[in-house]
């Protein structure tokens, strides 16, 4: 397929987003930027969260991982459902009661300024690295299969991508993102579903044949019961519970649009609907992965050493023009829906938690500061993406991304401590605890086989990280007279 055709398609896609941005960004105020004037329709927020929770990495990695992990990822997804109930019943009522814009303001009210800034810092660090990693992976795929043919440098490609995101988030903020993310979720779902259809047409599989073909393949096992392995059911299920709580309920990026709903009941409906849709979306992803491997086996196609390359390889080279367009549509939507809101939420957290900007009624100076911060984060995101490219070492980059995941543990410990104890702490020492906890967790994780008789940590390392943080905060208890 012609790279010119693909780039034309991508530009048309962005023209839709920019049109929405222009329309929703007119007469935007600080309340529009931060919380969409508290008028976001809950069903749009719910649907938009699908794209926001996924990424270009998800789009290509979950299908690629099916050969090794089969359908075990669904064990984590089932755990998500319990986590989302906790968010709806515990966290959202708290956020609405305190009328928060940045959720880390709760830590400031409950534990102190250092705790608030620590929570915000870990969010900023996690999301910056995470967003850069996801954009890097997706941009690298597009670079290899499209832009390298034009001789376009990766730095130029990345600059254009970040520039486009900046254009449609700069003014409208959350009010714009509620609509653009819904559109992108639609394209993402279309990408997955039509990819499945394209493969089934090539293999002459009817609707009823899809399920039987997958079920009879070597890729369809869902539940695993070896307690020492990372894919043990209860490890993954429990991890799913806490991943949802931390990476959705304690993450400003995921919560800010929820807080833009008209009321708490609307926000709760949004979470319940979103969680139900998310189960089916993730099921589609693992089904797609199984079908990709079944197709490759049937056609005698060699599996790439890097399984992340399987989906783009087949879509762009073997499955025909329709599948190629669908893949580009899906990965573009997945990439930008997970990255665009990051600029807005990073700006929100930094402005409120560090600069103490008045989000409900900015003055001219504060508005200017907010614009500068928004642009600064865009530049910083671009620099990290280019740095990843310069490193050009997947092992190093994946390690950096993995280490960033450890920063969610302190958030779990901080919020749990604030919610379920009434203990006052020596606030100035909280950053020390929150730095030591993930370091200790990382050491335990990397040496678990030797230390614990062959036991391998999975995502449950997040829970251990939170427990260490909680225990450390207990040591900081103030001796009140």
Q: Which pLDDT tens digit goes with each residue over 197-237?
A: 888 988 888 877 888 888 888 888 888 888 877 788 888 89
Q: Which of 229, 230, 231, 238 is nearest to 79 (CA)?
A: 238
**Is residue 316 predicted with pLDDT exceeding 90?**
no
> Rounded distance, CA 124 to CA 376, Å?
13
Q: Alpha-carbon distance 384 to 390, whole Å?
A: 10
**C-alpha pair distances (Å), 4 with each of 25, 59, 119, 462:** 31, 23, 45, 44
Q: Can you tell me the distance from the alpha carbon of 103 to that of 414, in angstroms, rounded to the nearest whole number?
A: 12
pLDDT bin (cut points 50, 70, 90) of residue 3 is: low
Residues 6+ apart with CB under 8 A from 192: 59, 281, 284, 285, 288, 330
If you search the block for the tokens 């130029």, which residue do you land on? 156
pLDDT digits (tens, 9 = 90+) for 363-391: 888 889 998 999 999 999 999 989 888 87
CA quadruple 392, 133, 120, 160: dihedral sign? positive
* 3-state secondary structure (DSSP) of residue 161: helix
Q: Is the predicted pLDDT of residue 28 greater than 80, yes or no?
A: no
pLDDT grade for 393, boundaries at 50, 70 and 90: low
Find tokens 């990026």 and name the residue: 253
pTM given for the model: 0.88
Domain ranges of the chain: 3-405, 422-481
Distance in angstroms (rounded) separating the CA atoms of residues 101 and 105: 8
290: its two tokens: 């199984």
* CB-CB neighbours of 321 under 10 Å: 12
**With contact defined as beta carbons under 8 Å apart, do 199 and 295 qualify?**
yes
**CB-count exposure of residue 182 (10 Å: 0-12, 13-18, 19+):** buried
What does the pLDDT read at residue 252? 93
> For residue 125, which phi and psi values (nearest 5 degrees)?
-65, -50
Q: Does 188 score more than 70 pLDDT?
A: yes
Burial category of 187 from C-beta neighbours within 10 Å (exposed 0-12, middle 13-18, buried 19 and up): buried
* pLDDT category of residue 96 using cuts at 50, 70 and 90: very high
Cα distance between residue 286 and residue 45, in whole Å: 25
Q: Would you place residue 399 in the very low, low, confident or very high pLDDT band (cuts 50, 70, 90)? A: low
Tokens 């597009």 found at: 142
Contact 97, 298 (CB under 8 A): no
Question: Which CATH architecture is the domain 3-405 placed in?
Answer: Up-down Bundle (1.20)
What Cα–Cα distance (Å) separates residue 187 from each residue in 45, 322, 326? 16, 14, 9
- Of 177-191, 282-296, 411-425, 428-442, give the lowest mean pLDDT range: 177-191
Strands (E) located in 111-213 = none
| b/e per residue 195-223 (b: at least 16 CB within 10 A) | bbbbbbebeebeeeebeebbeebebbeee
Q: 36-78 pLDDT, tens per residue?
A: 888 889 988 998 888 777 766 677 788 888 888 889 889 999 9
Sorting pLDDT into bands at 50, 70 and 90, what band is 457? confident
- pLDDT tens across 261-300, in order? 999 999 999 999 999 999 999 999 999 999 999 999 888 8
Q: Please report, for residues 11, 120, 270, 323, the alpha-carbon distance to residue 88 in angstroms, rounded to integers and kept in the order given.
A: 38, 22, 9, 38
């Amino acid at each position: 397929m012609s790279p010119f055709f693909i780039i034309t398609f991508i530009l048309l896609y962005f023209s839709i987003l920019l049109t929405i941005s222009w329309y929703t960004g007119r007469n935007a105020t600080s309340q529009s930027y931060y919380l969409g004037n508290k008028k976001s329709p809950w069903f749009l927020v719910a649907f938009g969260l699908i794209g926001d929770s996924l990424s270009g990495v998800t789009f290509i990695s979950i299908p690629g991982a099916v050969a090794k992990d089969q359908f075990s990822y669904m064990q984590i997804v089932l755990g998500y459902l319990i986590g989302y109930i906790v968010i709806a019943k515990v966290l959202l009522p708290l956020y609405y009661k305190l009328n928060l814009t940045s959720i880390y303001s709760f830590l400031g009210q409950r534990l102190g300024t250092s705790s608030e800034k620590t929570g915000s810092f870990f969010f900023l660090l996690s999301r910056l690295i995470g967003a850069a990693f996801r954009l890097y992976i997706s941009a690298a795929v597009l670079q290899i299969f499209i832009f390298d043919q034009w001789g376009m440098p990766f730095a130029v490609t990345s600059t254009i991508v970040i520039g486009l995101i900046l254009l449609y988030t700069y003014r409208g903020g959350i009010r714009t993102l509620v609509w653009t993310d819904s559109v992108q979720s639609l394209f993402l779902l279309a990408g997955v579903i039509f990819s499945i259809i394209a493969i089934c047409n090539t293999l002459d599989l009817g609707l009823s044949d899809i399920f039987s073909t997958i079920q009879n393949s070597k890729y369809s096992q869902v539940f695993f019961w070896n307690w020492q392995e990372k894919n043990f059911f209860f490890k993954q299920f429990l991890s799913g519970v806490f991943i949802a709580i931390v990476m959705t309920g304690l993450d400003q990026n995921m919560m800010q649009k929820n807080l833009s709903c008209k009321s708490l009941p609307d926000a709760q409906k949004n979470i319940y609907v979103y969680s139900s849709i998310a189960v089916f979306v993730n099921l589609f992803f693992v089904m797609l992965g199984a079908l990709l491997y079944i197709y490759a086996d049937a056609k005698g196609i060699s599996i790439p050493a890097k399984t992340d390359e399987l989906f783009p390889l087949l879509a762009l080279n073997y499955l025909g023009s329709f599948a190629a367009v669908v893949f580009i549509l899906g990965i573009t939507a997945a990439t930008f829906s997970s990255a665009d809101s990051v600029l807005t939420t990073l700006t929100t957290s930094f402005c409120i938690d560090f600069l103490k900007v008045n989000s409900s009624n900015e003055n001219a100076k504060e508005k200017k500061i907010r614009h500068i911060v928004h642009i600064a984060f865009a530049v910083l995101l671009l620099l990290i993406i280019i740095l990843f490219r310069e490193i050009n070492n997947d092992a190093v980059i994946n390690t950096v991304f993995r280490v960033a995941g450890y920063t969610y543990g302190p958030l779990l410990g901080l919020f749990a401590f604030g919610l379920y104890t009434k203990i006052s702490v020596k606030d100035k020492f909280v950053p020390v605890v929150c730095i030591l906890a993930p370091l200790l967790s990382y050491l335990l994780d990397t040496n678990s086989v030797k230390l614990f008789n062959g036991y391998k940590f999975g995502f449950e390392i997040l829970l251990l990280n939170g427990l260490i943080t909680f225990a450390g905060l207990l040591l900081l208890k103030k001796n009140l007279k």
